[in-house]
Structure 1
């Protein structure tokens, strides 16, 4: 039907004697602070704010009081409307809403004191980023605002500079020396610290890359040294070209059992000795059981004369 107001839009439209329309959002459990700002501007534009906050403290115009009361009640949800509708004065309704959402002055002051202590104890952790810590400070600004108080940019900027870890001391000293903190916006301080934070991150990445390359080079050098040592321990026979592990006592006692480390000794460990004849471990070439068979074949080859056949 024409003239009906939209349902559940959250907007109340009022009109003054000059046919000027004003839109006022409905009060909710989360928008009290912004709602009071808008309501004050609407009532003041209609010349009705004086019934809530008299300038001279004189008598309130009854007609203005009724109009302001009607405008105010239209912006309230049903549950709150039933509680404050008994008040005939607009000023009393406004105060009842303030007490409901902000609490009594004593409770409000206690909450503010608690917030101030929490803000003083707040410190940025080494694992936090500037963006994360700035978000925590912005949360305190919102909490102070919800209690009807405010935090100036100067207070938040000084808190930010005093709470960062030691790795930011260089940029903090630069800001304090060359900038006017009293007039610096909070966003500007955040931007400078974030730029410095990014520079630190890039330097750390370069340092980690250099360290990784150094470790890789050292590992390659150690591997090369091990291979060189293995080559040094291997001895190649001049007769057959086969290699064997170099033993410190290999050349000792290789005569007919003479010497303490000779082969005739019962304590000599031959498990690491490789035979030059069969290339197997456990005996010397002179002791090789396959030596005789090879010599016999060689003798037969010499004795073989094709002209005899």
Structure 2
């Protein structure tokens, strides 16, 4: 039985590492050495955790990648961080994902950031909200089941003020008159954090 366990373990080791374990006679010794080498010791886990945190901090979604692929990549990072017991809190995850969105999403991301409540949303809820939101600012319509990847955010000339007010109104439920008093995008962004 010991011989069978040893043989099975040695066959499962990649060829380029076979020589490192072949001299061991005991299956239990081989198993412990394999765990240390491939699963990692405390030091390698710290290094892996550090690398994953860095990957999380530098996370970006390219224009060509799209929302779904970005979501999948973020989920993979979060899953690995969770295994190492280093998963960030919900608000940090949501803010990071909104900041990582391509520039074409900036109006939607800005509005969601300033609306607040991101700490109450799970990452999956945020993704669903982004996926189902579609705003056509020119026509002032929403299509709740449409894919956000196809959202139209064309704002030109005088439509910028009206469009920003409409987005603010649609997402926050605030008064359109109040939102339309913003002179520029910076003022519009600040409206989400004022207490008036």
TM score, norm. by length of structure 1: 0.33
Structure number with greater CO (CA < 8 Å, separation at least 6) is: 2
Q: Which has the larger share of helix? A: 2
Q: Which has the larger radius of gyration?
A: 1
